Structure 1
């Protein structure tokens, strides 16, 4: 049974989190490179994947090149855009010179909040969180142990 569609409120919009992960080998054992970025629309997300795949197409093995270009120029990217419009994640992956590359796109909601409604942030540095002690004009506090 499909889940009901979530209708965002006026101050909420949908954006798309795009990731490209390159693994050291076809076994996806070690990450060589990761790039991430948000985009505003499904078309922008899929355009980013298409651009990256086209940059590699002349160096791909013949079978992988055919598969990549079929996705880029065919129904793969159209289906990906439709999937993102439904609020579902999508992706594409291929082998490239013994490495494995994955592109994924995940929808997320962006909440717009008026500045006066924002909560103050805590300091991120431990040094900034603790006040610096100031010496007493009378000198250090010495108590008689007895």
Structure 2
């Protein structure tokens, strides 16, 4: 690249244009990306994402993970189900995981329901705003989609 000198007017014009162009800062928001990944035992290349969730906070991420563990516990053996429910869902395991997320660290939990391993993992991220395809306001600015506004949802 050529340097900007009086002998190179194109480079001077380029430098002046760059000085005048100020890019707006991206408005990211903190959150936690959560996903459930299953892998067949003894076949590591079979990993596939079963579910994902963009949590707005570490607490929301842990709620998602706890709900998923409760759902999967029904297919675990009685010993493993008891251990994971006692330690991770109802005990200190989920609180420790939440603390890790608050410190900016990731957390994970692997369950072994049979021939597949299910790994739940969460990691802190910065989410970019969603852009509307038609040039309108960002998709995430209005909350619920127009068809669902005014309706109550049960959670």
Structure 2 length normalisation: TM-score? 0.59
Q: Quote the residue 1:103 is aligned against.
A: 120
Note the C-alpha offset of 1:38: 1.1
5 Å matches for 1:106-117?
106-110=123-127
Shift of 1:73: 0.8
Report the 3-state secondary structure (helix = DSSP H, G, I; strand = E; otherwise coil) of the residue aligned with 1:87: coil
Q: Which runs of 5+ in 2 are unaligned?
A: 1-26, 130-155
1:18 aligns with 2:34: yes
Deviations 1:54-107 (A, max 9, x none): 112232112211221121110000001111111111111110122100011010
Q: Does structure 1 residue 80 correspond to structure 2 residue 97? A: yes
**Equivalent residues in 2 for 1:17-96 (5 A)?**
17-25=33-41, 28-69=44-85, 70-96=87-113
Specify whether residues 56 and 111 from structure 1 end up closer, same or farther in structure 2 by C-alpha distance, changes over 3 A only: closer
SS at match of 2:97: helix
Deviation at 1:29, TM superposition (A): 4.3
Number of equivalenced pairs: 107
- Report matched runs for 1:113-124 at 5 Å: none
Across the aligned residues of Structure 1 and Structure 2, the Cα RMSD in angstroms comes to: 2.7
**Which protein shows a greater Rg?**
1
Alpha-carbon distance between aligned partners in 2 of 1:58 and 1:36, rounded to the nearest angstrom: 20
Could you say which structure has the higher strand fraction? Answer: 1
Normalized against structure 1, the TM-score is what?
0.62
- Report if aligned partners of 1:23, 1:33 keep a CA contact under 8 Å in 2: no
Gaps in structure 1 of 5+ consecutive residues:
1-10, 113-146
| Aligned twin of 1:139 | none
